Amino acid sequence: MTKNKRFPFLPVFTIISAIIFSSIYVMRDNPNTSSFISADIYLFFAFFASITYAAFQISMAGIKKGGENAIIFIMGGIATKLLLTMVFALIYVYSHKVGKMQFISNFFILYFIYSAFEIYSLLYNLRAQKIQ
């Protein structure tokens, strides 16, 4: 019988966040790339890191419960993340003067990186649950 092996979310999440943070830091200090980075990129980074962590924890609570609850929790986590992201973007756009391309690239690159990582982690854990 195989042992249920879960994805080591927190260590990998910390490493990915450190890589993203370091990349942002290096790009902001480089005169060739600093024009591509928003002044509030660290706000975006903190928002996406925290919302991804929360959504993953909601989804994992459902996976641990199992059954039909798992799907409800996973969809709830994804929907919550999407809605909070849209609300955050609207509030930010209406309260700050932003460059369109700079905001879109900074915001959605972080959104897609963290979403892809969250989906990969959930799929890994769902496969582990299926094997059991």
For residue range 85-110, what is the model confidence (pLDDT) as tens digits?
Answer: 999 999 999 998 888 888 888 999 99
| pTM of the entire predicted model | 0.85
Given the structure tokens 């039909």, which residue do they identify? Answer: 68
CA 48 – CA 43 distance, rounded (Å) = 9
d(CA 120, CA 106): 22
**Amino acid letter, residue 118:** E
The first and second tokens of residue 49, run together, are 């890191």
pLDDT > 70 fraction of the chain, expressed in percent and rounded: 93
Distance CA 124, CA 54 (A): 18
